[in-house]
Structures are given as structure tokens and as C-alpha cells.
């Protein structure tokens, strides 16, 4: 198919309808003409979208996932139909499954190709006719903590009334001081009047800029995988609270009188963590019902996809037992069965000191081994603990060298008592340095593939406090950076709220708290996926067991009953 034909088809799509001929030629260069055999699935519910399709020939059935996990037909695609605009632009998971009912040929534009073209020609975005919903989502910035397959579906900041409240006192002060200065400086010349007023206006402008930045720095986000709330106050603190979408239990909308008038309110998102701890509050957002609907829509998608996966797993197992599965389907099932085994639960974690391959003077702040990650408190807190003993050791060394060189007139060289005293003091300082370093190194925070571990232990034979919780209990993972020093040295606290009796775990003063939070969330997601795979595998085994019982019962039912033995003929009486 030549470029002119491709351009003619793409002109029928609103997304490309306003492009010039030159721009259409560049878009056409990314198009691939592909044929899909009957039964192929071009899109599957819950899987990330990766391409745009324009049907040239053939037909396809569009099915949506029911909450119970069954697909129900909702439409039909024929030549001239297209789908995947959201997929090619955002990569959001599909809401429908599209299956070719005949051999189907389509124009395909893959997201990676269109993204590359948009980077090479940024002016293309000005002429692409994005749907309103996609335009709103594309305004959202990409966050460093997002996973590659994670898409932002909701972004909000606090209502402007919060900025107005912040600016009320500075504005009142401006009016009061301005009025006073005008009255006080009226007898003076114009230049003397203007200078104080200019300084006052500059101060007000700086206050406005500060409060505006403070207001703009806070945001509320819902993605296809989590909900998150970031608070950032410049030079004071930063916190980010987030929870996996799968852990959300309920969403409540609250509005006050002013909120009803101006259209803002709070969306209180509750997880299964202890009441009061597990709530993530989207406060003072415009139309909080939109946040609530977005969360429930994403939860419905997750649940429908999970149920559908269960249904498809059972269907595949039955096809295998009935010997109806194709070789490709059998290979895919074998690969799926290996995946959970390869990513099985983590092994019991040995104590970090026992796992060290060699003796270190100072343990590392972060170490990774055997599928687990271990963190210690930031080096700043070790420095605070040992600084005075380190300075004492330097002073002792300087004094002892001065003594050996005869620079201490009050203490002549060769005094055995001085040498012994120096050795005793050096032993005391060395012991305290060792104690502080070892005590700091013994307090560790560990995350394995299936557990959280918090260990606090005193040196030698001191007490040990060890807390553990499984990752499937994790509800929220929050971070806080308490001040400018913490921001400068990159340390903070990571709070992990769990369901049940384990309560809250706090990884205190860890280095790079954003990375720690990201690592924990990634392992929570992997643990959830692994559990789902294992549960699916268990259900397949149960289906196989039931099917074996069914086959046994059917064989028993179909087996002919054994013939009853013939009764012996009666013996005739003897004459």
C-alpha cells in the first residue's frame, strides 16, 4: 500500500485530520500494514495499550469485562473503524478486548514510533486534534516515581480559595502599611515617598511568589496503580503519602457550606490500615466526586481484569484437559506455570552481619543480597554519635606526639605512668568508637521479596527488638523529609502502614527516602502479582483435580455392569 492510500485512510481519523500534507507524510512513514488471523486478540482488558489500529478489511468483536469476569459484546469493528487513540498517546490499559472474527488487515501505528516522531517534530502536537479527555491527561507531568507501565489518570491541586487564604494576611498588611506610609510620608518629596512604597510592594510581591509556589507544589494524583498525595513546603519539609489502588477500601466525599458554593471539598480515601492512619485525604480539591469516580473506575478495571484472568486461566486449563489447546497455547501455559516458581517467596533473611563477606570498619548504608535490601540510618547520624570521641582521639594523638617530642615541659619524656595512662584513655576512646559504630550498624531495615523487617540491637549481648510483617499487609507507604538539612543531605523517614496487628513500621533517617519508598512499593506490587499467579496456579490444579474426579465418575458410569453368575441347574433326584 502506497503512502497516498495510507494518508487517505488516516484523514478519516479526527486525531490526524488537521495535519498538513508534509506532516501526514511523516505520520504515514510510521504506519505498518499488518494482518491478524482469525481469533487473534488485538487488545486485552487490563493490558497496557501500545498501538493505534485502523481496520482495512475483516471484522472484530469488541467485548467489555463484566465485574464477574466475563466478557460481554459491546460493539463490532468493520473496515473504516479504528481504535487505540488513548493507547497510542497515553498507553493506558485497555477497557475492552478486541478479537478478530475473520482474518483482519489493519494500519498499525505503534506508540514508540509515534512518540519518537513527536520528539523529533514537537510542532506536530500543535496540529494533532487530541480528544478533550486526553488533552486533560496529557497536561499531567511525568513523575519520577511512576512505573513504566503506569499512567496518570487524575491530577489535582487545592482550590484557589486556599491561595486566597494564604494571601489574606499579607494583603491586609500591605493595605495597612501602605495607608500608614502614605499618611506619614505626605510632607516629604516624591522620591522619599516612592522608595518606601516600592520596598513595600517588592516585599508583597515576594510574599505572593512564596505562597503561590507553596500552593502549586502540593498535588493529588491517581494513576492506574496507586493514589498519591505530595506536600512540599520550600526549605521546611516534604512528604508523600501513597497507597496501591488494590488496597483502597472506601472513598468518602465531604463538603462544607463554602465548598458547596465554590465547588470544592475533600475526598477521604480509606485503606485497611488502622483507622486514622490509613486515610489519604485529597483536601480542598475541585469536584472531589471526580476523584471518587476515578478511583472506583480504576478499581472496577482492576477487579474485572483479575476476574477475567481467572476465567481465562480456567478456560485454558479445561482446553488443555480436553486436548483442544494449540501448541502455542500449551507453551504459554507452561511458561505461566514456571513464572510463579521462578519468583517464589524470598528465603529467610540471615542477619546482615553474618552475611557480610568481609570485615568492614563501617557497615554500608545500603546493601543488597539474596533478593533483599538492607538500609541503615544516614551517615550524618553516625557522625553525630562519634564526632566527640573522634575529636578526643585526635587531641590524645596530638598530646602524645608532643609528649614524645618533648614539647610538654611539665611532663618530661620517659614517664611510664604517662604512657600507661595514654594507653588506658586510648582504649576507652577506641571502645566507645567501636560501640557507637556497631550500635549504629546493628539497627537495620530490611525488605525481602515477601517481608518487612525492622531490627534494633545493642552491641555485645545487648537486647534485640525485631519486628516483621508480610508485604501483603502493606497498605500505605509514606515519606517525610523534615527540613532543609534533611533535604540537603537527602535523608528522611519512610512510614509503612500495615493492616492487622503489626501497626506502623518507620524506617527512620534513611538515605534517599524517595528511592526507599519506590523500592518498597515495587516489591509490594511484585508480591501481589506473584500471589495472584500462585492463586491462579492453585485454581488450575483444583480444576484439574475436579476434572480427574469427573472423568473417573464418567468411566464408572459408562462401564458395563458385570454379568451376574448363572444359577446352577437343579440336580435331578436319584431313583
| Model confidence pLDDT, tens digit, residues 363-420 | 899 999 888 999 999 999 999 999 999 999 999 999 888 888 888 877 777 778 888 9
Annotation: CATH topology of 3-139: Jelly Rolls (2.60.120)
Instruction: Work out the average pLDDT over 93-105.
Output: 91
Instruction: Work out the average pLDDT over 68-75.
Output: 80
pTM of the model: 0.77
Instruction: Work out the average pLDDT over 164-183.
Output: 91
H helix count then E strand count, the chain: 16, 23
- In this prediction, residue 563 has a pLDDT band, given cuts at 50, 70 and 90, of low
Instruction: Work out the average pLDDT over 56-84.
Output: 88
Determine which of 157-161, 272-276, 430-434 has the lowest per-residue pLDDT on average.
272-276
Torsion sign over Cα 493, 499, 503, 505: negative
How many residues would you count in the chain? Answer: 575
pLDDT: is 480 or 138 the higher one? Answer: 480
pLDDT at 212: 95
Q: Residue 510's closest CA among 531, 484, 480, 539?
A: 480
pLDDT reading at 281 higher than 80: yes
pLDDT: is 221 or 236 the higher one? Answer: 221
Q: Residue 61's closest CA among 47, 44, 48, 74?
A: 74
- In this prediction, residue 165 has a pLDDT band, given cuts at 50, 70 and 90, of very high
pLDDT at 356: 44
Instruction: Work out the average pLDDT over 171-187.
Output: 87
Report domain extents, the chain. 3-139, 159-217, 360-522
**Mean pLDDT over all residues of the chain?**
86
Q: What are the φ and ψ backbone dihedral angles of 204, each rounded to 5 degrees?
A: -65, -40
Residue 83 Cα distances to 9, 32, 86, 98, 274, angstroms = 13, 15, 8, 10, 44
| Non-local CB neighbours of 203 within 8 Å, separated by 6+ positions | none
- In this prediction, residue 243 has a pLDDT band, given cuts at 50, 70 and 90, of very high
Torsion sign over Cα 302, 303, 306, 308: negative
pLDDT reading at 441 higher than 70: yes
pLDDT reading at 272 higher than 70: yes
- Distance between CA atoms of 445 and 455, rounded to whole angstroms? 6
pLDDT: is 563 or 59 the higher one? Answer: 59
- Distance between CA atoms of 134 and 112, rounded to whole angstroms? 18
Determine which of 44-53, 210-219, 369-378 has the lowest per-residue pLDDT on average.
44-53
pLDDT at 351: 44
Strands 491-498, 71-77: parallel, antiparallel or unpaired by DSSP?
A: unpaired
User: What are the respective helix, strand and coil percentages of the chain, to the nearest 5?
Assistant: 45, 25, 25
pLDDT at 326: 72
Query: Which of 180-194, 212-226, 395-409 has the largest mean confidence?
Result: 212-226
- Distance between CA atoms of 302 and 226, rounded to whole angstroms? 11
pLDDT: is 282 or 501 the higher one? Answer: 282
How much of the chain exceeds pLDDT 70, in percent?
89
pLDDT at 176: 93
Q: What single string gives the DSSP state of each residue in 11-73?
A: TTSGGGTT--HHHHHHHHTT-EEEEE-TT-EEE-BTSBP-EEEEEEES-EEEEEE-TTS-EEE
pLDDT at 571: 60
Q: What are the φ and ψ backbone dihedral angles of 307, each rounded to 5 degrees?
A: -65, -40
Annotation: CATH topology of 360-522: PH-domain like (2.30.29)
pLDDT reading at 232 higher than 80: yes
pLDDT reading at 499 higher than 80: yes
pLDDT at 336: 58
Q: Let me know if the fold of 3-139 is the same as that of 360-522.
A: no
| Model confidence pLDDT, tens digit, residues 318-364 | 777 777 777 766 676 666 555 544 444 444 444 444 444 455 678 89
**C-alpha dihedral (539, 543, 545, 547), degrees to nearest 10:** 180
pLDDT reading at 253 higher than 90: yes
Instruction: Work out the average pLDDT over 553-571.
Output: 68
- In this prediction, residue 503 has a pLDDT band, given cuts at 50, 70 and 90, of confident
| Non-local CB neighbours of 254 within 8 Å, separated by 6+ positions | 265, 266, 268, 288
| Model confidence pLDDT, tens digit, residues 108-148 | 999 999 999 999 998 898 889 988 888 877 777 678 888 87
Inter-axis angle of helices 111-120 and 21-28, nearest 10: 140
Amino acid at each position: 500500500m502506497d503512502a497516498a492510500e495510507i494518508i487517505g485512510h488516516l484523514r478519516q481519523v479526527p486525531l490526524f485530520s488537521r495535519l498538513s500534507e508534509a506532516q501526514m507524510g511523516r505520520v504515514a512513514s510510521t504506519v505498518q500494514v499488518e494482518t491478524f488471523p482469525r481469533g487473534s486478540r488485538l487488545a486485552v482488558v487490563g493490558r497496557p495499550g501500545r498501538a493505534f489500529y485502523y481496520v482495512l478489511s475483516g471484522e472484530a468483536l469488541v467485548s467489555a469485562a463484566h465485574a464477574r469476569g466475563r466478557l460481554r459484546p459491546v460493539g463490532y469493528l468493520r473496515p473504516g473503524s479504528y481504535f487505540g487513540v488513548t493507547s497510542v498517546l497515553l498507553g493506558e490499559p485497555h477497557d475492552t478486548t478486541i478479537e478478530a472474527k475473520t482474518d483482519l488487515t489493519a494500519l498499525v501505528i505503534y506508540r514508540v514510533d509515534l512518540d519518537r516522531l513527536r520528539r523529533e517534530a514537537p510542532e506536530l502536537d500543535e496540529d494533532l486534534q487530541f480528544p478533550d479527555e486526553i488533552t486533560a491527561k496529557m497536561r499531567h507531568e511525568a513523575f519520577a516515581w511512576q512505573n513504566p507501565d503506569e499512567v496518570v489518570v487524575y491530577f489535582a491541586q487545592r482550590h484557589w480559595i486556599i491561595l486566597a487564604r494564604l494571601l489574606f494576611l499579607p494583603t491586609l498588611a500591605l493595605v495597612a502599611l501602605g495607608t500608614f506610609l502614605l499618611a506619614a510620608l505626605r510632607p516629604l518629596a516624591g522620591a522619599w515617598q516612592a522608595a518606601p512604597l516600592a520596598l513595600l510592594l517588592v516585599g508583597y510581591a515576594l510574599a505572593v511568589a512564596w505562597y503561590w509556589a507553596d500552593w502549586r507544589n502540593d498535588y493529588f494524583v491517581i494513576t492506574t496503580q496507586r493514589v498519591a498525595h505530595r506536600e512540599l513546603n520550600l526549605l521546611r519539609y516534604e512528604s508523600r503519602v501513597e497507597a496501591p489502588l488494590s488496597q483502597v477500601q472506601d472513598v468518602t466525599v465531604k463538603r462544607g457550606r463554602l465548598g458547596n458554593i465554590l465547588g470544592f471539598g475533600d475526598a477521604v480515601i480509606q485503606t485497611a490500615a488502622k483507622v486514622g492512619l490509613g486515610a489519604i485525604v485529597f483536601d480542598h480539591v475541585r469536584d472531589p466526586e471526580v476523584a471518587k469516580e476515578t478511583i472506583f473506575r480504576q478499581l472496577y478495571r482492576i477487579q474485572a481484569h483479575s476476574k477475567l484472568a481467572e476465567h481465562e486461566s480456567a478456560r485454558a486449563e479445561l482446553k488443555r484437559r480436553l486436548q483442544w489447546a494449540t501448541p502455542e497455547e500449551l507453551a504459554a501455559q507452561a511458561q505461566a506455570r514456571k513464572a510463579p516458581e521462578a519468583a517464589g517467596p524470598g528465603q529467610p533473611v540471615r542477619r546482615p552481619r553474618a552475611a557480610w563477606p568481609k570485615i568492614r570498619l563501617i557497615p554500608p548504608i545500603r546493601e543488597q543480597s539474596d533478593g533483599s535490601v538492607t538500609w541503615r540510618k544516614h551517615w550524618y547520624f553516625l557522625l553525630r554519635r562519634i564526632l566527640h570521641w573522634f575529636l578526643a582521639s585526635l587531641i590524645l594523638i596530638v598530646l602524645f606526639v608532643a609528649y614524645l617530642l618533648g614539647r610538654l615541659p611539665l611532663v618530661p619524656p620517659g614517664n611510664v605512668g604517662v604512657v600507661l595512662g595514654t594507653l588506658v584513655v586510648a582504649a576507652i576512646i577506641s571502645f566507645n568508637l567501636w560501640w557507637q559504630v556497631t550500635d549504629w550498624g546493628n539497627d537495620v531495615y530490611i525488605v525481602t521479596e515477601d517481608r518487612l523487617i525492622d531490627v534494633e540491637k545493642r552491641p555485645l549481648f545487648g537486647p534485640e527488638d525485631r519486628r516483621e510483617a508480610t508485604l501483603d499487609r502493606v497498605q500505605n507507604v509514606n515519606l517525610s523529609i523534615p527540613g532543609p538539612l534533611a533535604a540537603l543531605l537527602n535523608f528522611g523517614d519512610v512510614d509503612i502502614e500495615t493492616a492487622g496487628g503489626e501497626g506502623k513500621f518507620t524506617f527512620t533517617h534513611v538515605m534517599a527516602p524517595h528511592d526507599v519508598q519506590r523500592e518498597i512499593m515495587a516489591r509490594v506490587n511484585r508480591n501481589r502479582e506473584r500471589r495472584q499467579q500462585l492463586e491462579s496456579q492453585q485454581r488450575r490444579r483444583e480444576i484439574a483435580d475436579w476434572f480427574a474426579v469427573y472423568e473417573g465418575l464418567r468411566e464408572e458410569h459408562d462401564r458395563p455392569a458385570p454379568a451376574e453368575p448363572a444359577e446352577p441347574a437343579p440336580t435331578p433326584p436319584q431313583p
